[in-house]
Structure 1
Amino acid sequence: MENSSALLSTAYFAPIQYYCKLVQHQNVLIEQWENYSKQSYRNRCNIYGANGALAISVPVVKATNKKVLTKDVKVSYDTNWQKLHWKGIESAYKSSPFYEYYIDDLERFFTQKWDYLLDFNLEIQAEICEILEIENKNALSDDFIPMQTPDFIDYRNMIHPKASKGLADANFNPQAYTQVFGDKHGFIPNLSILDLIFNMGPDSSHYLETCLG
């Protein structure tokens, strides 16, 4: 398994399951030639707010055609979503053990602007991998890769925010850890990687290894 290749979609502050694949697989390819899929982790993440899981989404420019390639999707700045995300993350994690330790490294993602969603997500992934001290595997596909291609384990549809659309992943076994609002709502697994690093700090990379099935 560790020597196999993984095929992932791009993701905005991807869930823990996603980063487990970066640890688990020697080779990782990110699909950029697929038709963009709405309501997925490509432009959204789930954090743990005071009322439970909270989805925050990056608005994208509406395509003139029904189908647009992921690599061509542009970020929309018609609303000040960056400020809203920043305040939402602050509200969710300001009291977490490692918030002050990491938040300055992430601030630029809520002040600077990127034209393309894919470029934005890749920059985020690079920063998160540096925080986790794991290898940043972000090679992009040269062409669309059909489903059930034997050279890859295809996680593009397996890792999805809606359980009804996601596929079972026998190689991901999330373990409980202390979360800010866990006493109120219990442990919520597989949230954004932000939840893990703010709560577990330097132990985050070891946690990823414990979740491998």
Structure 2
Amino acid sequence: MESQLLLPAFYLPPISYFHAIKQQEGALVLERFEHYPKQSYRTRAKIATANGVLDLIVPIVHGRKERVAMKDIRINYEHDWQRLHWLSLQTAYRSSAYFEYYEDDFYQFYDRQHDFLFDFNVAQLELLLKCFKINRAITLSEGYESSIAPVDFRTDIHPKKGNFWAEQPNYYQVFEERHGFLSDLSAIDLLFNQGPQSKNFL
């Protein structure tokens, strides 16, 4: 049986997420039956701006039920967060070496609406894997199990747990002279700054 790596579906995942993928062999299994956890990378991405780290947060529709499966979480469009996120990305990265190269690929996520957060995140993951030239099959979990895969990173990569990848190599960042190197930002920070060489930093 082929080995599997079990991961959550994140919004513009951090660099450590792709480091985990690159270091582990086997199919990627995305967890869609977990109860949606608050304040995680499922709805939040960190980018580098002139003022330091900025959290981009995707608003969700909050229902009466406390425990909702990740696959059933809907994105909230009451406020125009897509325009704000895209403006933030443009402001942060328009002077980076490769933003214009990838701009059209990522604009699609801010130009049309996805009903479900999980589908939105999976579509971004597929694009990022392509940009990083990581050829890995993605499968979706068939149900929640406590030990569905030998390698389980469902809870390891979290904004409140510190860096999952402690020895991440530095690369050039647009605002590095102002803030120093900022580690484990969204993978788009690496991509927009390093382009085709990004895979070498994973």
Give how far 1:82 is off: 0.3
The reply on whether 1:202 has 2:196 as its aligned counterpart is yes
CA distance in 1 between counterparts of 2:160 and 2:179 reads 19
Structure 1-normalised TM-score? 0.89
Residue-by-residue CA offset, 1:48-94 (whole Å, 9 max, x unaligned): 01111110011011122011000100011000000000000011111
Are the counterparts in 1 of residues 6 and 149 from structure 2 also a CA contact under 8 Å? Answer: no
Give how far 1:145 is off: 2.1
Are the counterparts in 1 of residues 59 and 76 from structure 2 also a CA contact under 8 Å? Answer: yes
Are the counterparts in 2 of residues 8 and 154 from structure 1 also a CA contact under 8 Å? Answer: yes
Aligned to 1:64: 64
Residue-by-residue CA offset, 1:160-186 (whole Å, 9 max, x unaligned): 1113xx5x74x6620011101100110
The counterpart of 1:161, out of the listed 159, 162, 172, is 159
Aligned to 1:99: 99
Are the counterparts in 2 of residues 6 and 152 from structure 1 also a CA contact under 8 Å? Answer: yes
Aligned to 2:187: 193
CA distance in 2 between counterparts of 1:43 and 1:203 reads 27
CA distance in 2 between counterparts of 1:32 and 1:68 reads 10
Residue-by-residue CA offset, 1:147-171 (whole Å, 9 max, x unaligned): xx384222111101113xx5x74x6
1:79-98 → structure 2 map (5 Å cutoff): 79-98=79-98
The reply on whether 1:152 has 2:186 as its aligned counterpart is no
CA distance in 2 between counterparts of 1:145 and 1:24 reads 23
User: Which stretch of structure 1 is more off in the superposition, 126-135 or 92-101?
Assistant: 126-135
Are the counterparts in 2 of residues 125 and 136 from structure 1 also a CA contact under 8 Å? Answer: no
Q: Unpaired segments of 5 or more residues in structure 2?
A: none
CA distance in 1 between counterparts of 2:140 and 2:148 reads 18
* Secondary structure, aligned partner of 1:109: helix
Aligned to 2:33: 33
Aligned length: 200
Give how far 1:198 is off: 0.4
The reply on whether 1:9 has 2:3 as its aligned counterpart is no
CA distance in 2 between counterparts of 1:78 and 1:5 reads 38
**Which residue identity is paired with 1:157?**
T
Provide the aligned C-alpha RMSD in A.
1.7
CA distance in 1 between counterparts of 2:113 and 2:136 reads 22
Q: Unpaired segments of 5 or more residues in structure 1?
A: 209-213
Structure 2-normalised TM-score? 0.93
